[in-house]
Amino acid sequence: MTKATEGESVTLDLLKVGEVGELSEIFQWRGEVPKGLPDWKEEDKVHLGEELSDVLLYLVRLSDICGVDLGKAALRKVGLNAIKYPVGSKGSSKET
């Protein structure tokens, strides 16, 4: 990726927020969504994939501009969450 221009990280953040809003609209009136989206039309699944991709691409670009290794940060966060929310506490909002 190329070097960020001045203010680009702010612009990307705002664009990302807009894309997350579009993603949220897809789920707004659907209630609980079962794994695999069995009741969804194929065109709705394609649209969902497009919106998820938009959000992902903005996050990747923003992490690049900020100098954050997104893969490393995600793995670290998964580890922290495993400690904070151990499997044995499923069904409980209790933190350790």
**pLDDT above 60: residue 91:** yes
Buried b (16+ CB within 10 A) or exposed e, 6-29: eeebeebeebbeebeeebeebeee
Averaging pLDDT over each range in 3-12, 54-63, 75-84, which range is the top one? Answer: 75-84
**pLDDT above 70: residue 6:** no
| CA count, 13 A, side-chain hemisphere, 67 | 0
The answer to whether the CB of 54 falls within 8 A of the CB of 17 is no
**pLDDT above 70: residue 90:** no
What per-residue confidence (pLDDT) applies to 93?
57
Per domain, the residue ranges of the chain are: 8-68
User: Which CATH number applies to 8-68: 3.40.640.10, 3.40.50.720, 1.10.287.1080, 2.60.40.1930?
Assistant: 1.10.287.1080
Single-letter code of the amino acid located at 19: E
CA separation for the pair 41, 44 (Å, rounded): 5
What per-residue confidence (pLDDT) applies to 51?
92
DSSP structure class, residue 40: S
